[in-house]
Structure 1
């Protein structure tokens, strides 16, 4: 049996977060492969988007894969912790809730907690679902601690967390890691790509100064340009802007001010939403909007009027289209990050999509035969992940009572994609949540957003009737009390960082 040799010459086109995450993971996992070379090409003259600063808990696994020390990482990237996302004015002006990491309450009598909460609502309990999440309660109080899986009876065993960091510093941090492990960086602007005349495979790229870089596997991290996958191989783009109409953003960092809590904040605006991401040295801010409903200058002025501190840089304007390339792996090119697609950062999934793409590539890593079965599996799983995330994002827009602008009236009347429509129908019928194919967002995530944005079940699991009204209210009150007491005993985020060596020096504050 003749087995094709493994791919050993890998070329990454583009740097930034996506490129250096990819390089770091490849040299960490495949570094002992005989003959392996990982070359990353980037140009200082080409800027990176670099505004995605918030993550979800899966990033912890990626950092651990690399063997990164968490406190060194916190200092080097000016990171803070994140226990969830606070959504302000999404249901209606004046309303707010937290989509937390981790779970709600405790399951009882073999069924999910929400059914007892729904029964409690039916018998006069007026508590909010947020009250049953340690992440939501601690996050709003500005407190943080690591999870305690060794204490299964503590609410801290239900806690999950992520990070908020400076994306540019994260890329530089990973560059140092990757280069020290053997990755090679090439400075230069790519002007053309070469393809094999018969197979159409990419064989190399030519730089502006005439140098050529050849390889066997090419990973496209060139951002929205999608230099190899889109421009060279012509893989079409699947446009989802009818469901996600925001197509522009303006980002501005500002000085520290206002609340410093371990939460990302998303505030609904008349034609989109504004993010607020507090780091150790500054606050990241941005306004994601629909250019069909507000012009760029008005969107910029609105953002500037709602900062918690003085701006630290000029506005950075971005234009994009929601959707993804029809195939993320074509021939010998795999696209990661913005080169593969874009879903607005409402739920902080941009960096996760890079991470999951890397994990998928490593699991299905090709030999020089580039089998179609592995490629097709990669593409099917990638598309499924984009669809699942898209449906969750659409939920936020569609499940709103707002009718105070043309933008929100459009969003309220969106036709739900099939998967979302099925989830909504099931939840409205009986409070049950469908989660299939190990999709990214958990039952608790769907529960949080659906309940908090006014999707009300007509019934709940019949087993919840096994507790009478008094015991239902008593158990709910006990769970709330334990969570509130536990959260109140945690250190503040600033105290936690100082105690564990993750805080930056005071002189490093107020820098862009």
Structure 2
């Protein structure tokens, strides 16, 4: 048996680097020692990390106190994303981080809602979501035993990117990660095996390791630049090839959700934090130049924008995320479209599966093959969820949105759309990130209404269904009114107290 893996080197930048280094160190110590090689940051003041709910689990693993994090980073909570049309003519719907409705007669609520809608019910699906109702009322939802019995309620975060990366770096060092900075890292390869043996850094430094993680972003300095792994281009699925980020003054009371506003040349996302309102805009250079995009973003956001930066958007997946003794994480493994805030989630997915398959020694062909299978499947399912937003859009006949509707859907997405349209079912495939409630919210929100419902619910009397609908709506109203406002909760959570150790790096 080969020697155990004890030396892990993570090379990269920003949150992907420090999240990876911290998680590996926290999960595998004391047997594994982690060295983080930090490349120059590519973040700007306007950048924001908008997370899905799963990030909280990683923070718990790292013993990162939520109040400290939000106080130090100036972040806020998010209960979901609100989709709007800036002109008011397109669809409006809320993608909540939680469940919709509650079981009736031990059967799925959604089928009852479908049937009732066909009979004239005018109450929107999202009105049966406790999370969506709280968000639209500006309330922070604090789960308890009562709400947990009703259904799933989750939340994510909006985190100013520079501040969040700084918090993670301090945390990594506290966990025992060795941190090195360099302008460039050059790999030294084993001439026989082709594995990476070490990294040569500026100033004549060398970092040796047995296992390497590439968290360098889209460039993939190790996975692509050294090992030559190609990528599968997803450009045909997504019409946006530019992303603009900017920031504006914070709201007096930060909304507890993000808002995505579609306009003729693309969409503008507003991500409120305590420190600022962060703007993310996706558009196509074929239909809108950068100057017009900035003007359009300010008009759609109805805010004065500063610190604007434009970047190329080029979604696609590395053919394999694990090659030789190197695993690519985050954007080094897969670059997604900007919708639905999955950048950090891609890092999390890679780390979760890597910890499950982390090799004991140097012979890890089986683990590598399985990791590549799982991550490919998981990335493609995220791509499909993002793709569905575009191909089903009802945002008018501008060149951008017309091109988005013409974009090809994968066979798996096509099957899911067809099945939902016929039966109201959106069968989850293996390795899905977005749960059934998210798919339903997206499909219904974009106007895809099933032609029938499952007949088993017809056994429940109409009187009982009406009674349960009234009970659910009454429960939601009662619980929402009990909750503090998002701003009240943030103010209480982030009271300016003695600066904790994490802030000083001690």
Question: Shorter-normalised TM-score: what interval?
Answer: over 0.9
Separation in 2, partners of 1:291, 1:6: 50
Say if 2:2 and 2:363, in contact at 8 Å, map to a contact too.
Answer: no
Separation in 1, partners of 2:466, 2:140: 28
| Map of 1:16 onto structure 2 | 14
| Map of 1:362 onto structure 2 | 355
2:483 to 483, 486, 490: 490
Q: Which deviations, in whole Å up to 9, do the C-alpha atoms of 1:293-315 show, x marking residues without a partner?
A: 2111211221233445443x421
Q: Which deviations, in whole Å up to 9, do the C-alpha atoms of 1:342-374 show, x marking residues without a partner?
A: 112311111011011111111111234241110
2:29 to 28, 31, 54: 31
1:352 to 345, 362, 375: 345
Say if 2:189 and 2:197, in contact at 8 Å, map to a contact too.
Answer: yes
Say if 1:193 and 1:205, in contact at 8 Å, map to a contact too.
Answer: yes
- Cα distance, 1:434 vs. partner? 0.1
Say if 1:53 and 1:277, in contact at 8 Å, map to a contact too.
Answer: no
1:467 to 453, 460, 467: 460
1:153-302 pair list within 5 angstroms: 155=150, 157-257=151-251, 260-302=254-296
Matched, 1:502 2:494: yes
Partner SS for 2:432: coil
Q: Which deviations, in whole Å up to 9, do the C-alpha atoms of 1:386-417 show, x marking residues without a partner?
A: 11001111111111223321111112223321
| Map of 1:510 onto structure 2 | none
| Map of 1:425 onto structure 2 | 418
| Map of 1:47 onto structure 2 | 42
Separation in 1, partners of 2:420, 2:42: 44
| Map of 2:435 onto structure 1 | 442
Matched, 1:116 2:134: no
Separation in 2, partners of 1:408, 1:380: 33
Question: Paired residues, what number?
Answer: 496
| Map of 1:69 onto structure 2 | 65
Partner SS for 2:222: helix
Partner SS for 1:285: strand
Q: How has the CA–CA distance of structure 1 residues 371 and 498 changed in structure 2, closer, same or farther, with 3 Å as cutoff?
A: same
Say if 2:111 and 2:457, in contact at 8 Å, map to a contact too.
Answer: yes
Moved more, 292-301 or 331-340: 292-301
Separation in 1, partners of 2:446, 2:207: 51
Say if 1:77 and 1:173, in contact at 8 Å, map to a contact too.
Answer: yes
Moved more, 81-90 or 384-393: 81-90
Q: TM-score with structure 2 length normalisation?
A: 0.93
1:58 to 54, 61, 77: 54
Q: How has the CA–CA distance of structure 1 residues 459 and 504 changed in structure 2, closer, same or farther, with 3 Å as cutoff?
A: farther
Separation in 2, partners of 1:165, 1:453: 28
Q: How has the CA–CA distance of structure 1 residues 276 and 372 changed in structure 2, closer, same or farther, with 3 Å as cutoff?
A: same
- Cα distance, 1:121 vs. partner? 0.8
- Cα distance, 1:477 vs. partner? 2.7
Separation in 2, partners of 1:133, 1:60: 21
- Cα distance, 1:15 vs. partner? 2.3
Q: Which deviations, in whole Å up to 9, do the C-alpha atoms of 1:152-197 show, x marking residues without a partner?
A: 6764x53111111112211111111110121111111225322111
Q: How has the CA–CA distance of structure 1 residues 152 and 54 changed in structure 2, closer, same or farther, with 3 Å as cutoff?
A: closer
Q: Which deviations, in whole Å up to 9, do the C-alpha atoms of 1:242-288 show, x marking residues without a partner?
A: 01121211111111137621101111122321111100121111211
- Cα distance, 1:504 vs. partner? 5.8
Say if 1:216 and 1:368, in contact at 8 Å, map to a contact too.
Answer: no
Say if 2:114 and 2:453, in contact at 8 Å, map to a contact too.
Answer: yes
Q: How has the CA–CA distance of structure 1 residues 438 and 236 changed in structure 2, closer, same or farther, with 3 Å as cutoff?
A: closer
Separation in 1, partners of 2:298, 2:132: 28
2:403 to 391, 399, 410: 410
Task: Give the CA RMSD over aligned residues.
Answer: 2.0
Separation in 2, partners of 1:125, 1:274: 32
Q: How has the CA–CA distance of structure 1 residues 153 and 405 changed in structure 2, closer, same or farther, with 3 Å as cutoff?
A: closer
Structure 2: state its 5+ residue gaps: 498-506
Q: How has the CA–CA distance of structure 1 residues 298 and 286 changed in structure 2, closer, same or farther, with 3 Å as cutoff?
A: same
Separation in 2, partners of 1:489, 1:256: 26
Matched, 1:338 2:327: no
Say if 1:90 and 1:96, in contact at 8 Å, map to a contact too.
Answer: no
Structure 1: state its 5+ residue gaps: 506-512
Separation in 2, partners of 1:503, 1:293: 46
- Cα distance, 1:457 vs. partner? 0.4
Q: How has the CA–CA distance of structure 1 residues 307 and 454 changed in structure 2, closer, same or farther, with 3 Å as cutoff?
A: closer
- Cα distance, 1:226 vs. partner? 0.7
Partner SS for 2:146: coil
Q: How has the CA–CA distance of structure 1 residues 173 and 202 changed in structure 2, closer, same or farther, with 3 Å as cutoff?
A: same
1:390-409 pair list within 5 angstroms: 390-409=383-402
Runs ≥4 residues deviating over 6 A: none
- Cα distance, 1:48 vs. partner? 3.5
Moved more, 379-388 or 337-346: 337-346
Q: TM-score with structure 1 length normalisation?
A: 0.92
Say if 2:91 and 2:445, in contact at 8 Å, map to a contact too.
Answer: no
Partner SS for 1:347: coil
Partner SS for 1:223: coil
